[in-house]
Amino acid sequence: MSDDFILDTDDIERRMGGAMSSLKTEFASLRTGRASASMLEPIMVEAYGQRTPINQVGTINVPESRMLTINVWDKSLVNAVEKVIRESGLGINPQLNGTIIMLPIPELNEERRRELTRVAAQYAENARISIRNVRRDGMDQIKKAKIDGLSEDDQKFWEEEVQDLTDTNIGYVDLALDTKQKEIMQV
């Protein structure tokens, strides 16, 4: 019956890729001393009764390498946007100028750089955990198929496939972390 068992490795690969894509988004939010609109992506503002991404309540611009501006479209949201940025943990002190919020990016000191590398390492560990959870799901599917009559050779084949995907994706996480930590520590 289970001789025709085929594990959906595309689904496993897609789910592991989702962990990588989430990691890249989190890494983009870590500032490296340079202004980047992507560092505001994870920030959500309470607007119109729901949590809304900051880029959906105003236009984000990078007028110079160490300055971000947000032109908030709705005047009533300016204070909410300012407050959420101040509380975001990015270490940025917003300055109001009408409906425009200016965000000067301070120079990173050594201590803050080390702290950001630890945050990056935590993001990477969360991605590794997600990948290992996908691996566990794949292995569980193989075990169920084994109970249903999957041969031992086929079981070993599929387990190796899942392990190879896991090792490859964890390698990508490690490489991305190494790159991000070097970028953060670069003065």
- Report how far residue 15's alpha carbon sits from residue 7's, in angstroms, rounded to the nearest whole number: 14
**What is the CATH number that goes with domain 8-27+109-185?**
1.10.132.20
Sign of the four-CA dihedral 95, 116, 166, 138: negative
Q: What is the pLDDT of residue 110?
A: 86
All CATH 1.10.132.20 domain ranges in the chain, comma separated = 8-27+109-185
Q: Read off the pTM.
A: 0.69
Q: Which fold has domain 34-104?
A: Gyrase A; domain 2 (3.30.1360)
The 10s digit of each residue's pLDDT in 101-149 is 999 887 778 888 888 898 899 999 999 999 999 999 999 999 999 999 9
Do 5 and 154 form a contact (C-beta atoms < 8 A)? yes
